[in-house]
Amino acid sequence: MTELEVLRVFCGPDGAGGNRLGVVRDGAAIPDLADRSALAAELGFSETVFLDDAQRGTVDIHTPSVQLPFAGHPLVGLAWLLRSLGRPPRTLRPAAGDVEVGFEGDLTWVRGRAEWVTARRTQRYASAAEVDALPAPPPGEGWLYAWAWRDEGAGLVRARAFPRRGDAVVEDEATGAAALLLTHQLGRSLDVRQGAGSQILTRVHPDGTVSVGGRVCRDVP
């Protein structure tokens, strides 16, 4: 029987929000790609991550309809879970490349590159109220990250994410890869408040990489 953990990743300071994540700790138990895709579709979370080699940190990430080379919330969630089990990783290895992991208090960080993020469009709106008023999903096709400044001086952003892939995920509660891409485009560290109550923190590094961090909670049915 598959051992599945369910977490909420990028929870707000009060523990609310967070994007649900399925973690299969023994990925080797489901070696077939079609079976992994079927499980991810059945769960219906934004992403499900399979830990294929705990020692090396090799992982495989799936949405309900596609396989991803990199995604923020699965890597942050898995890193937090492994630390809670007494095995904090220094590196995780999705298909995109080696991802450095760090921990600071209740925050878990992963570090990646904008070119690892699969095609999606960021669109700035005039106000946070305009972002809040968008239907889910907005008209149009393709991945949309809608955002506006809440406080530009402080780097505080209001955002919502719409995959528009045609699967069950109408709106993504918290999206590390999109926050990483926006951070890269703006060239500055951000405090992103996304979805119903999630918080994503980002940092820009001199080598062009971006760190994405946040809090993780176990999901309680």
Mean of the pLDDT values across residues 179-186?
Answer: 98
Spatial separation of the C-alpha atoms in residues 60 and 67, rounded to whole Å: 8
Look at residue 50 and tell me whether its pLDDT is greater than 60: yes
Q: How far is CA 112 from CA 39, 76, 104, 162, 177, in A?
A: 26, 12, 17, 21, 9
- Over residues 80-110, the pLDDT tens digits come to 999 999 999 999 999 999 999 999 999 999 9
Q: What is the model's pLDDT at position 221?
A: 63
- The pTM assigned to this predicted structure is 0.96
Mean of the pLDDT values across residues 137-164?
Answer: 97
Domain ranges of the chain: 4-100, 116-216
Topology classification of domain 116-216: Diaminopimelate Epimerase; Chain A, domain 1 (3.10.310)
Question: What number does CATH give the domain 4-100?
Answer: 3.10.310.10
Q: What is the model's pLDDT at position 168?
A: 85
Mean of the pLDDT values across residues 121-143?
Answer: 97
Q: How confident is the model at residue 3 (pLDDT cuts 50, 70, 90)?
A: confident
Mean pLDDT of the chain: 96
Q: How confident is the model at residue 166 (pLDDT cuts 50, 70, 90)?
A: confident
Look at residue 25 and tell me whether its pLDDT is greater than 90: yes
Mean of the pLDDT values across residues 171-176?
Answer: 96
CA triple 61-33-53, angle to 5 deg: 55
Mean of the pLDDT values across residues 124-153?
Answer: 97
* Identical fold between 4-100 and 116-216: yes
Spatial separation of the C-alpha atoms in residues 203 and 210, rounded to whole Å: 6
As a whole number of Å, the end-to-end CA separation of the chain is 20
Spatial separation of the C-alpha atoms in residues 31 and 28, rounded to whole Å: 5
Q: What is the model's pLDDT at position 220?
A: 73
